[in-house]
A and B are shown apart, each in its own frame.
Chain A
Amino acid sequence: MNPFENLTLVEPPLRISPDALLAEGRKRVRRHRLLILTASPALVIGGAGLVVSLLTGGASPRTDAVIPPAGTPATATGSTSVASLPTDAAPAAVLDTYLRALRSGDCESAHALATSTFTAGNGELCGHLTVKSYTPVRGPATPNDREVVFATNLVTQGGDASMPDGLHTWFYTLDRQADGPWRLVGGGSGP
């Protein structure tokens, strides 16, 4: 028995365009290369620091502190709340505030820093699992002057088989909005 023997599907028009996919593919290859260039030295330095820390018995580094990228204004650190975040806040400061809200489970504040495209399935985790700690990787990728991609190590709990408990590298993309502020627009397990 072939259940599909007489099946003819009535299809809506196909919107997939080879040229659009090519453009998106090129963009991702560029981002990927940028991330490798910027994140690799940080991972090496971080790994070396961890080894030294383990060998010397020193305290392990805090996992909930944002390491601001070079050139980030001083507002990028500290316990900035959503309400007090200036509209011209640096993308690292926006992400820092978002991550604090995410860790404390304050999804309302977290959503205030994102656009409507930042949804469950496109990077948003708030409300779906618990983020116990986060450690942004130094140095975001900047594909262009209106887009920044951060790699962040998250320790999660309460996810399902697609996101088991433990350490995950999660990528966050922020875009500068037409009216000025940086906002989270997407994310996921890949850049």
Chain B
Amino acid sequence: MRDEGEYREYVAARAPALRRTAYLLCGDWHRAEDVVQAVLIALYVHPPRDWEAVDGWVRTALMRRVIDESRRPWRRERPVEALPDTPMLQHDSAERMALLDALRTLPIRQRAVVVLRFWDDLSVQDTAAALDISEGTVKSHSSRGLAALRLTLERTHA
């Protein structure tokens, strides 16, 4: 980061997309915003040495924080058969809610792989780097995640 103006521009440009990614991972807009804010503050305090690599740095930090948060005892996620009712926004379509609900049934790492690969359009290599896992693991999580999503959506529509 050369100056604070550059940081300000980066935050303004990237915060909306980062929040969307975080939302798909945690399923809660407020938590997503909190996580993104924490990551962007950490970016100011400990910026990467090479500012060109900032996107990768932020992505990795975001993934770590979301995954860590999901493991904390007071926020630990537990897979359940039936999801509790969640408040729907006015224009949420049934299809959208079904997809988001199905996504929430995936284990957190599998969900992270699916979101990075198919929402953020990252390559297998970049996804592996963001999650600090091997490319083989990305492929297997991706394949299993998609299969599980497809199955859940089919059950929903049946």
Contacts and interface: CB of A to CB of B under 8 A. Distances in A.
A127 to B, nearest CB: 10
Given A4-B119, A121-B74, A128-B74, A14 B33 contact: yes
Interface residues of B, number: 42
Interface string B47-80: 0000000000000000000001001111110000
Contacts, number: 94
Of the four ranges (under 10, 10 to 19, 20 to 34, 35 or more), the interface on chain A belongs to: 20 to 34
Contacts of B104: none
A18 to B, nearest CB: 4
B7 A18 contact: yes
B71 A25 contact: no
Interface string A13-46: 0111011011011101100100000000000000
Interface of A: 1-4, 6-12, 14-16, 18-19, 21-22, 24-26, 28-29, 32, 120-121, 128-129, 159-162
Interface of B: 4, 7-9, 11-12, 15-16, 19-20, 23, 29, 33, 36-37, 40-41, 43-45, 68, 71-76, 89-92, 95-96, 99, 103, 114, 118-119, 146, 149-150, 153
